């Protein structure tokens, strides 16, 4: 799930930009989904990384083989970069 969320967010972002979603991104449910993915994606990635760190710590105490952390770290970096890309596209409305 943590790996799929950043790709889903990118697909929604570019699908809305190129109008491939049939106008769904202009509705309230589309905006709620986009904001939900915006918030949920880095949170899930951090939770996955934390779970791996705790798992490796417990495995080290038990003498078992540890799991690599780089997949979770890569997904976290991707999630943060996608969120930064989305924030760079925000236009602030100012009344004249």
What does the pLDDT look like over 21-66, one tens digit per residue?
Answer: 777 767 888 888 888 999 999 999 999 999 999 999 998 888 888 8
What pLDDT score does 68 carry?
A: 93
d(CA 77, CA 86): 14
The full set of domain ranges for the chain reads: 4-88
Q: What is the pTM of this model?
A: 0.83
Largest Cα separation within the chain, whole Å, is: 66
Asked if residues 24 and 37 have their Cβ atoms less than 8 Å apart, the reply is no
Q: How far apart are CA 81 and CA 1, in angstroms?
A: 18
Q: Report whether pLDDT(90) > 90.
A: no
φ, ψ for residue 92 (rounded to 5)? -85, 125
- Name the residue with tokens 């994606």: 41
Neighbours of 28 (CB within 10 A): 7
């Amino acid at each position: 799930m943590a790996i799929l969320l950043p790709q889903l967010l990118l697909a929604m972002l570019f699908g809305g930009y190129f109008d491939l979603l049939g106008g769904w991104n202009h509705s309230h449910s589309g905006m709620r989904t986009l904001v939900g993915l915006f918030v949920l994606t880095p949170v899930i990635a951090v939770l996955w990384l934390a779970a791996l760190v705790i798992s490796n710590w417990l495995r080290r105490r038990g003498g078992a083989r540890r799991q690599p952390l780089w997949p979770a770290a890569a997904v976290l970096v991707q999630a943060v970069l996608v969120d930064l890309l989305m924030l760079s596209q925000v236009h602030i409305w100012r009344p004249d």
